[in-house]
Amino acid sequence: MNETERDAGRSALAHAPLAPVFLALRISLHTLMVLLAGFVIVRAVIASGATASWIVGLAVVLIVSYACGAFIVRGADVTVQRGWLALVTIEVMALTALTADAAFLIFPLFFLQLHLLPRRWGAPIVLLTTAITIAVMTMHSGVHLGGVLGPLIGAAVAIVMALGYQALYTEARQRQLLIDELLAAREELAREQHNAGVAQERARLAREIHDTVAQGLSSIQLLLHAAERDSSGEVLEQLRLARETAAEGLAEARRFIRELSPPALEGQSLGAALARLCDTSSGASLTVTFHESGDPAPMPMQLETALLRIAQGALANVTQHSHAHRAEVTLSHLDDWVGLDIVDDGVGFDPPQAHTDAPPSASFGLTAIRQRVEQLGGSLSIESDAGGTAIAVGFSLEGTER
């Protein structure tokens, strides 16, 4: 297992269910090394031989250097880790040369070598350490079966356990990565279901408004128009005022229906949808033209929908309140930016007073545009005077999911 795979595994298993198991194994290995080194010290003190002080000193040095590696070197560079492993190996071999009791330390040393070294080097280094240990044991007590089989069996057990540990580690890492992918997919599915539910509810509300409020206002408008023909004087003027009020209410209801209905982006680009919107917004007294510049770049559906809604709201205000004769809608594309401009030659208004002095419907339209821009982190500029109004919005495409 290389360093990149090991780092990826640690990140994936940081909160995995098997993380306590791997932590317990690591603590057990550290505890075994310290206890065996302590056993060597106790045996040296009891024996009180000529080399007892050397054995005790070297064992203490081993414990200190091992502790430094266990708590400090563990998160260091792989070169530092392997340098620490070489130092610990040399100390264990030197301690084994002084006393046969230190031969037990090679068992936890095997696990360190197999864990910190690449797989192609781990087993050969373990076998080399075993051969050196057998040679040193032969120097202490001559050639005997236990001195040969003990290190060999320990090496075989360590290799088998290390392979099992690595297989378990790899399996746990892959399972955790799969769980993370499933959780991410579930969250994405939940978002899509939420968006679909919102779209369905908006479509339902649009149908309800169309079938009730809009149809009712249309009927009222027709009845009032018929009543005008049979009236005169002050009554006629009041009926005309009532009919105009109903007509304005009908226009607002239709605008709400356009706002609630799903955007007409299926099967066509944003530019085509905006061009069609400009054509439908043109009338006897208003001409709306569309321009598109730059190469269109893929953008999220949420952003395309927002741009279409902004254009709908702005043109609705132009149609109902600006008394304009001409309006232009421009969609601009750059590498990582998209902009939309709506300009008319109407009577204009005072932008700072848009929320107070402007007609309620116009104020609401501008508020809706501002909210859409803020929700997507875009920029909004509104300029207006007696010669007309210009609304410009812009959105960055950097970091967006396309």
Torsion of CA 264, 268, 272, 276, to 10 degrees: -40
Under 8 Å CB-to-CB from 160, ≥6 apart: which residues?
A: none
Do the domain assignments include residue 223? no
Helix, coil or strand: residue 304: helix
The pLDDT value given to residue 358: 46
Q: CA nearest 302: which of 226, 195, 221?
A: 195
The pLDDT value given to residue 263: 58
Residues 283 and 157 reside in one and the same domain: no
Residues 270 and 134 reside in one and the same domain: no
Ranges of beta strands (E only) in 322-378 are 326-333, 337-344
Spatial contact of 269 and 295, defined as CB atoms under 8 Å apart? no
Residues 273 and 399 reside in one and the same domain: yes
Q: Which of 165, 186, 207 is the endpoint of a domain?
A: 186
Do the domain assignments include residue 200? no
| Tens digit of pLDDT at every position of the chain (402 positions) | 444 445 444 444 444 555 676 677 778 888 888 888 888 888 888 877 778 889 888 989 888 888 887 777 666 677 888 888 888 889 888 888 888 888 888 888 887 888 788 778 878 888 888 888 888 778 777 777 777 777 788 778 777 877 777 777 788 778 888 888 888 888 888 887 887 777 777 777 776 776 677 777 777 877 787 787 777 777 787 887 887 888 777 777 777 766 666 556 655 788 888 998 898 888 778 899 999 999 888 888 778 888 988 998 888 888 878 889 999 999 999 988 999 999 999 888 876 555 444 444 445 678 888 888 998 899 999 998 888 999 999 999 886 554
Residues 280 and 150 reside in one and the same domain: no
Q: How far apart are CA 393 and CA 402, in angstroms?
A: 20
Q: Is the Cα dihedral 41, 42, 45, 51 positive or negative?
A: negative
Residues 299 and 169 reside in one and the same domain: no
Do the domain assignments include residue 257? no
How many domains does one find in the chain?
A: 2
The pLDDT value given to residue 290: 94
Q: Which pTM was predicted?
A: 0.42
Residues 180 and 269 reside in one and the same domain: no
Residues 175 and 269 reside in one and the same domain: no
Cα 148 from chain centroid (whole Å): 56
Q: Which of 119, 152, 186 is the endpoint of a domain?
A: 186
Under 8 Å CB-to-CB from 292, ≥6 apart: which residues?
A: 271, 274, 275, 330, 331, 332, 333
The pLDDT value given to residue 17: 59
Spatial contact of 339 and 393, defined as CB atoms under 8 Å apart? yes
Q: CA nearest 33: which of 93, 88, 99?
A: 88
Longest dimension (CA), the chain: 133
**Amino acid in the structure at residue 338:** V
Beta-ladder partners of 394: 339, 379
CATH of the domain at 378: 3.30.565.10
Spatial contact of 258 and 316, defined as CB atoms under 8 Å apart? yes
Q: How far apart are CA 243 and CA 332, in angstroms?
A: 41
Residues 155 and 270 reside in one and the same domain: no
Do the domain assignments include residue 254? no
Rounded-to-5 percentages of helix, strand, coil across the chain: 70, 10, 20
Do the domain assignments include residue 286? yes
Q: CA nearest 43: which of 5, 106, 100?
A: 100
Q: Is 362 exposed, middle or buried (0-12, 13-18, 19+ CB in 10 A)?
A: buried
Do the domain assignments include residue 209? no
The pLDDT value given to residue 193: 82
Range of the domain at 360: 265-402
Do the domain assignments include residue 7? yes
Do the domain assignments include residue 272? yes
Q: Which of 167, 186, 205 is the endpoint of a domain?
A: 186
The pLDDT value given to residue 340: 95
Under 8 Å CB-to-CB from 316, ≥6 apart: which residues?
A: 255, 258, 365
Q: How far apart are CA 94 and CA 345, in angstroms?
A: 93
